[in-house]
Amino acid sequence: MHLTILFLTSALLLPAHDGHGKAHAPASAKALKSPLTAAQAKPELGKPLYEKACASCHGPDGSAQTAAAAAMKPKPTNLVDHRMDSMKDGEIYWVITNGIAKSMPAMKTQMSDQERWQIVTYVRHLRGAQKAKDHKH
């Protein structure tokens, strides 16, 4: 009986981006804040980094509709889906830094801290661009 209540409560507390049943970053990652200045946080600085490290799986536009993505299990997350809105910048940064076992490489030793935050900025930019498109029709 108590267990049932516990189960229900934890289901309700799942973040929305966890619609696929997984949130990989620990709760503490939500509090991580970007150290970038406004000049460093320009999306065009994150773009080449994203295209090099992420686009092969998540697609150049973030929608994960690449041939490689179709063949993968689990499938790469659609980074421009509305569910991404509930994922905090710190969680995206954490996933980029630490990767996801067997699914996604860790960038911790491949890129500087600043570059990883610049990718976070670009992922947000892609979602923003998708939102703008959705509102047009």
Q: Does 100 bind ligand HEC (CB under 6 A)?
A: yes
Tokens of 77: 């997350």
Q: Which is nearer to ligand HEC, 5 or 67 (CB)?
A: 67
Q: Does 92 bind ligand HEC (CB under 6 A)?
A: yes
> Interface with ligand HEC by CB under 6 A: which range of 4-12, 30-38, 40-48, 102-110?
102-110
Closest contact distance (angstroms) between CB of 129 and ligand HEC is: 15
Tokens of 126: 């892609």
Q: Which is nearer to ligand HEC, 32 or 79 (CB)?
A: 79
- Residues 20, 83, 33: CA angle, nearest 5 degrees: 110
Gap between the Cα atoms of 101 and 84, Å rounded: 20
Q: CB count, 10 Å around CB of 136?
A: 5
Considering only 80, 104, 121, 124, the residue that binds ligand HEC (CB under 6 A) is: 104
Q: CB count, 10 Å around CB of 70?
A: 10
